[in-house]
Amino acid sequence: MFLNQRTFIFLSIIIVAIGGIGTAEALNYRSYVFGTYEVIVFSYEDGTDLEVYGFGQTLWSGTLNKGQHRLVQKPYGPHVPEVYEVVGSRKFSVLTGDLTYGLSGYYSIDKHGQGASTELYTYVQVRSSDPHDIQKFVVFAYEDGTQVTIEKDQGNGSYTEVVTNHPLDAGEHWQSQDFSNEYIHVSSNKPVSALSCYDTGYFVPSANGYFSGTRFYTYLARNHEGGLTYSPQDLIVTAYDNDTEVTISDCNVPGVVKWQGTIHAEEPHVQRFPLKAWMSL
């Protein structure tokens, strides 16, 4: 896919979950994230000292080693908006949203704030009890010859392998519907992205790891409204430059183009899909 080397960013539906990575300040790394009830902090290095602040108090402080996480929840009261501050002695990542008690969709980010990486830690929500709802965990590859290992947490830092060195080429993906309330570790020899997809919308990372670029792969979930009725899904592409040429294609069927056209700076294009879809841009 060729996009005339102009940069764009896209998201689908509504943004509900964000992740953050702090920037160096003296010897600390600091992140500010918005949420209503809870955040999950992931450690990428041993001996990472962390403090989480919110609602006018220290919510948690402690030390995490590589691969460990901490779910930090508001101790009492209604779910109201709040800006959380997370400070660490080493780089970390933060996931926020309605995580354990609601519906979310989000891509993982690594300790450098990149959405495509060779190492990612993330969380998959509790599986819905509705048999019509389909929750997926998806890993996308951006380069040929990618090998992916996926592990699930067995005890906050102790992992067991689900798949080992699974081969993927550019535009291909690995998916599972078996995870529920699981903390996941993804490692690979080349950058990949990891999507926890249940409901709602999310920013999508590009092949360069940022959330703007010239090549993207994503999945639009089938959103259940009740019975056998499903709501359509929107893919929104926004340009940063004039004369940005965009091609939206089906990842699973080579040569099938869903839309192709030119958009200009700050101009969005909305592509609607009646059901689920695997897309490349």
Q: Is the per-residue pLDDT at 68 higher than 50? A: yes
pLDDT of residue 82: 84
As a whole number of angstroms, the distance between CA 219 and CA 130 comes to 20
As a whole number of angstroms, the distance between CA 235 and CA 245 comes to 16
pLDDT of residue 13: 30
pLDDT of residue 233: 82
Q: Model confidence over 155-186: pLDDT tens digits?
A: 878 899 999 999 999 999 999 989 989 999 99
As a whole number of angstroms, the distance between CA 16 and CA 12 comes to 11
Q: Is the per-residue pLDDT at 97 higher than 70? A: yes
Q: Is the per-residue pLDDT at 63 higher than 80? A: yes
Convert 168-197 to b/e letters by CB count within 10 Å (16 or more is b).
Answer: bebbbbbebeebeebbbbbbbebbbbbbbb
As a whole number of angstroms, the distance between CA 234 and CA 214 comes to 19
How is the beta sheet containing 23-25 ordered, strand by strand?
A: 23-25, 28-35, 82-88, 48-54, 57-64
Strand-pair partners of 94: 20, 41
- Write down the mean pLDDT value for the chain: 84
pLDDT of residue 239: 95
Other CB atoms within 10 Å distance of the CB of residue 56: 6
pTM of the model as a whole: 0.86
Nearest CA among 271, 280, 191, 190 for reference residue 238: 271
CA 135 to chain centre: 14
Q: Is the per-residue pLDDT at 231 higher than 90? A: no
Which pair of tokens denotes residue 138? 């998806």
Contact 39, 84 (CB under 8 A): yes
